[in-house]
Structures are given as C-alpha cells and as structure tokens.
Amino acid sequence: MNASILWIFLPMGAGTILLFLRNERWVAFVAGSLSALLALIAWLLPIENAYAIGNYAFKLSSTFEILGRRLILTANEQPMLTLIYGAAAFWFIASSSIGKAHRLIPLGLIVTGLLVASLAVEPFLYAALLIEVAVLLTTPLLLPPHQKPGRGLLRFITFQTLAMPLILFTGWLLRGIEADPGANALIRQAAILLGIGFVFLLAVIPFHTWIPLLGEESSPYLTGFVFWVFPTFALLFGAGFIDRYAWIRTAPQLPSILSAVGALMVAGGGLLAAIQNNLGRILGYAVLVETGFSLLALSLLEAQGIELFFLLFVPRLIAMGLLALGLETLKKDAAGLDFAQVRGLARPWPFAAASLLLAALSLAGLPALAGFPIRLAIWESLATVSLPATAWTLVGSLGLGIAALRAAAALVAAPAQAAWEARESWPERLFMSLGWLVLFGLGAFPQWMIPLLNRLPAIFEHLGH
C-alpha cells in the first residue's frame, strides 16, 4: 500500500462519493470517522515499515509516481498528517449539528487531499498548481447554488490566483540560481517575486481585503474552515521554501522581514478588529492576527521558534472552530452578523455567545485560555530581538480583545424582561462545551500538546536543527 493513496487519493475519492449522499448525519459520520482513522494510522503506523494482518502482509511505501512527478510522504510527515486529519475530523463531525455537513464535507475532503498533495509533490513548485485547484474548488463550497458571488469570494480567488504565476516563475529562476549560486541579479529577482507571491498567498496587509469581506458575506462555519485550512497550508508551504533553499534561509534580512510583516499583521488585524461592527469581519481580522503570530514565530528561525510555529496550530484550530460554530448558531436567529442584528441574542443563545467570547479572547491571548501560553513564549523570545515588534503585537492582541468585549456587550444588550433560555440543540451544546474545556485545559496545561507537536519540526531538514 502506498502512503499517497491512503492520505491523498482516498480522502479525495471519499469526498467525490459523498457528493451524492444527501443524509447530513451519514455524511458527517463517514467523513469524520475516515478523517479520525487516517489521523490514527498516521500516528501509529510508520511509513516504510512492513505490517501483517492475519495472512495479509503489506508495507506503507513513501513514493508514488504519477505523470512523471512524484508524491513523497515519509515518516517525518506523519505527525503533520495526524494534525491535518485530526483537524478535519474536528470540522466535519461538528458540521452535522448545524446542518452544514453536505455543503462542507465532500469538497472539504477533496481540498484537504489536494493540499496534502501540495506538501508531498516533487518537484516542489508544482504545489502552487495544486493549491490553485484547491482554491477554485472552494467556490462551490462557499457559494450557495443560484447565488451571485460576492466581492470577498471574487477577491479571494483573484489574489490567490495572482500568487501562483509569481511562485512558479520564481521556480524557473531558482534553476538558474542552482546552476550559478553567485548570480546575485537572479537571486534579487527571485526574492522579490517570491515575496510578492507570498504576500498574496498569506493575505498580507494591504492584500487582505478578501478576508473580512468573506467573513461578512458567507456562512461563518464554511468560511471558518477556509480560514483555517488555507493559511495553515500556505504557512507550511512558505516554511518549506525557507527550509529548502539555503540562499533564502541564510539571508541576513529574512528574520527582520518576517518579524516586520508579522508585527504588521498582528497590529493591523487587531486594531481593525477593534473598530468593526460585524462579527464575521471580526472573525476575518482574527485570521490576520493568527497568521502574523505564525510569521513572528518563524522569524526566530531557531529550534524554539519552529516549535512555537507548530504549537500555535492546535489552539488556533479549537478557537477558530468554536468561534465559527458560535457565529453559525447565532445566525439562525439573525438576518446578519452586524452588532445591531445580534443585539441581545446572548439570552436565547447563551452557549453560542459564550463560545464566541471565549474563542475570541483565546485568540487575543487572554491568560488561562489556550492561546496565552504560546503567545507569552513568542513575546518573551521576540523581546530579546525587537522590542518595537513586541509592543505592536501587544497592541494588536489588545485590539482583538476589545473587539471581543464589544461583541459581548452587543450580545447581552437585551431588555431586562427578556428571559434566559438555551435554544441550541444538544449536539451544539455538547460540541461547544467540549471546546470550552479544551480551551481552558490547554491554557492550564499546554504541555498536553507536546507528544504530537514535538515531532512536527522533523518535516523540515534544516529549520530548527
């Protein structure tokens, strides 16, 4: 058996079949079980080992050739596969409670398989094409039938598509650099094109406008999945570039550039979130803050920085999922997500309102919640390198915290005679309560993430070593 068949083609095939299954619960059950099983196999069964089940013996091989290209998944990538498919199971299982399973899961599985392929493909630069295909597949995921696309979706597709030719052209230049490492002109051209490509791919300010627009226009839960999956893979893709090419990794300007861009995104995202009057837009700006913190961790370039880069993934997943689930639940009783439209909804929907508040405060780095320990470690490390960058990240976190409190004020602003009740279904209450427990648990015991995440830096050959 081949690892690529198991973790790339099987999810894509399952997603295609589930397109024709209409029962929400069965779609969620099949996809959630499959994703959890793939995560478990990635954790327990090392690639390139031989296994026997009764009279049947097999070996998980790492390399798969297709159309003259290779997909390579080794044992070093298995912790990453555990994280990715564990996260997919989290999104897929909870989607059934809000009636979004059939919209999310089939295309979500296909997109996840394509993005895993983007990290496995050789030559490495073909990843850009796979990411572009995944971007195009999100159009039917985010856009209901017979509805015109909004500005956010159009800008998302446009900006992500603009990144692809820049990155591919960089690959052509990289061949010249490998042939002549002293070609300074080629190195400068490649660095500029690569930088612009990732500015589009990561939605760096001012090319971020699609994120708040998409958060305002589309289903919060579906948008939340897109906001989690694409920045995560884009960051891994970018870190892979840094690890693969010595002229990038050893450039003396790289830490300063990553630190400056990360601080800009944290400060800009937090301050812009603080002045918003729409919960969907606040979700979008929280994504910018999270991407900024990942770039700040990556800017440290040492073992601790790479560990922090990966430690951000799990708290981000839980907070983003809980925030999206809370917003989707509130939207059942509101025409939109403007503060005026959700005013007073904390009384009939207390679980959703509490989920929204706790998730946003975790993303802001409030002590006792999952986001705080990792942010504290980043602030401590960053303070030894750049005090201005540290100060701006604190300002951005404060801005996101203010946005969370303003949202809470709108949600509880109900007439005194309004009764408290809980309209959430029992599955919604269960998923939200579990999310609260995880946020507080990881805030108090961040070392629970260590068994998984201390193996993740092995996917890089040079970074963190």
pLDDT the model gives residue 287: 93
| pLDDT tops 70 at residue 184 | no
pLDDT band at 42 (very low <50, low <70, confident <90, very high): confident
124-146 per-position pLDDT tens digit: 777 888 888 999 998 888 888 77
**What DSSP character marks residue 348?**
T
Flag whether 139 is in a domain. no
Flag whether 104 is in a domain. yes
Sign of CA dihedral 90, 92, 98, 100: positive
Q: What are phi and psi of 64, to 5 degrees?
A: -130, 125
Flag whether 196 is in a domain. no
| pLDDT tops 90 at residue 285 | yes
410-420 per-position pLDDT tens digit: 998 877 777 77
Gap between the Cα atoms of 372 and 366, Å rounded: 6
| pLDDT tops 80 at residue 300 | yes
Give the structural domain span for 408: 252-465
pLDDT the model gives residue 464: 61
pLDDT the model gives residue 45: 80
Does 259 lie in the same domain as 117?
Answer: no
Does 256 lie in the same domain as 118?
Answer: no
**What DSSP character marks residue 61?**
B
Flag whether 64 is in a domain. yes
pLDDT the model gives residue 61: 81
pLDDT band at 183 (very low <50, low <70, confident <90, very high): low
What size, in residues, is the chain? 465
Flag whether 387 is in a domain. yes
Please report, for residues 216, 302, 413, the alpha-carbon distance to residue 23 in angstroms, rounded to integers and kept in the order given. 28, 48, 38
Flag whether 408 is in a domain. yes
Single residue among 122, 151, 166 that ends a domain in this structure: 122
pLDDT the model gives residue 302: 73
Highest mean pLDDT among 6-10, 56-60, 148-152: 6-10
| pLDDT tops 60 at residue 335 | yes
Flag whether 15 is in a domain. yes
Flag whether 78 is in a domain. yes
pLDDT the model gives residue 221: 92
pLDDT the model gives residue 43: 86
Gap between the Cα atoms of 99 and 394, Å rounded: 38
Single residue among 122, 156, 191 that ends a domain in this structure: 122
Does 419 lie in the same domain as 275?
Answer: yes
Single residue among 59, 90, 122 that ends a domain in this structure: 122
pLDDT the model gives residue 227: 92
| Structural domains of the chain, count | 2
pLDDT the model gives residue 38: 92
418-448 per-position pLDDT tens digit: 777 888 888 889 999 999 999 999 888 888 8
